[in-house]
Amino acid sequence: MSTKRCGIIELPKIHDVRGNLTFVESSRHVPFEIKRVYYLYDVPGGASRAAHGHKALHQLMIAMSGSFDVTVDDGEKKRMFHLNRSYYGLYIPPMIWRDLDNFSSGAVCMVLASDYYDEDDYFRDRNDFIRAARRKKS
């Protein structure tokens, strides 16, 4: 996989003077069926999260509140995205390493995932990820 496949997806936004509404529909607004939703919150200042990759999982990350940075890495190239709008989601396909940091106070990161939790789908060691990524590209 390449970081070129990672990108911002603009989600529908319904404007209303009483407050805006954004929604996400599985396989319509995201390029996968949503099977799991989780969120990160109360991340201490200076802390980072993620630092892993997935073999088969697709994800969409959304800053529901506050902001944070996501660095995606395919083993050769890195790209950084600053998420700070609840109607923008960052699509991350399989075989991409991700690091989250620079969380603002009160930041909430919601993640939509294409499958149920499976520890066997994770790369926890960056060197293992890089070796697997190089094998896939050759």
The CATH number for 126's domain is 2.60.120.10
| Tokens representing residue 11 in the block | 């989600």
Catalytic residue ranges: 52
Domain that holds residue 50: 3-137
Distance (Å, whole) CA 93 – CA 7 = 10
- Give the model's pLDDT for residue 1: 65
Q: What is the pLDDT of residues 24-62, one digit of tens each?
A: 999 999 999 999 999 999 999 888 888 999 999 999 999
Total count of domains within the chain: 1
| Tokens representing residue 24 in the block | 């996400």
Q: What is the pTM of this model?
A: 0.93
Distance (Å, whole) CA 87 – CA 93 = 19
